[in-house]
Amino acid sequence: FMGRQLAGRTLGLVGFGRIGREVAARARAFGMDVVVSDPFVTDVLVREWDAKRVEFPELLRVADVISLHCPLTSATRNLIGPRELSLMRSDALLINTARGGIVDETALAEALLAGRLGGAGIDVLEREPPVAGSPLLAPDIPNLILTPHIAWASRESRQRLLDQLVGSVPDTRLLVICLARPVLLERRPSWGEGREIHTQINLKPLSRRASRALVGEILQKAWGVPHELRDLIVEGAEGNPFYVEE
């Protein structure tokens, strides 16, 4: 197997929010040129990150590597379909760590099988977990790497997620979440500050589904954690105990 160096290659970023900008910074460190397609950012911002704005079709034509960093909306569903894949270089690489549904999976599988695309790295699928017959699960697809939506899931990033929770609940001294076995949520206020003493919550062993539902309800209803953050915390704690001291 012969690899290709990144220096002198062109990275195309579809979406230039916080994550896209951080990817751009790392690509520039490797000597890559960066082109951007994002209707919601200014030209000034793009230039500040040493990148160049181009129209979406142009990005597809010139990029050696295309990385998706846009949300899944009605406008971006199947954003990468048969037509878009046909515009890409035959040796280009497509990376999707954003959301499943942005890429037409059947069209991608066909392009890879036909040798019309250099390769793809896919961390997100339209249906998760994937079902039997999912186009990208075919064993004969060449140059495809699939990962189970874990691009973010280092131990450190999960710990940061729990740290954010503690920051949103000021009187939390200790929080432990573990959904693979009996769950303990313990809420202790600081002593001597006139705060109400909260009762320790002990959850007896439950089924996985019941544990997830109950922990999510406690986080949202009892502690007022927004549902978006609640879902991330429950997902991030799956099978992993986290200990957070304030």
Among 28, 149, 173, 198, the one annotated catalytic: 149
* Whether 149 is catalytic: yes
Apex CA 215: angle with CA 213 and CA 216, to 5°?
Answer: 65
Whole-angstrom distance, CA of residue 215 vs CA of residue 83 = 44
> How many Cβ atoms sit within 10 Å of the Cβ of residue 71?
11
* Whether 4 is catalytic: no
**Nearest alpha carbon to residue 109 among 127, 82, 147, 79:** 82
Whole-angstrom distance, CA of residue 173 vs CA of residue 189 = 6
Among 22, 48, 55, 128, the one annotated catalytic: 128
Identify the H or E element spanning 12: strand 10-14
Among 99, 158, 212, 230, the one annotated catalytic: 99
Burial environment of residue 58 by CB neighbours within 10 A (0 to 12, 13 to 18, 19 or more): middle
* Whether 69 is catalytic: no
Widest distance between CA atoms in the chain: 70
What is the dihedral angle through the alpha carbons of 176, 179, 183, 184, rounded to the nearest 10 degrees?
Answer: 10
Half-sphere exposure of residue 46: CA atoms within 13 angstroms, side-chain side? 20
Catalytic amino acids?
A: 99, 128, 149
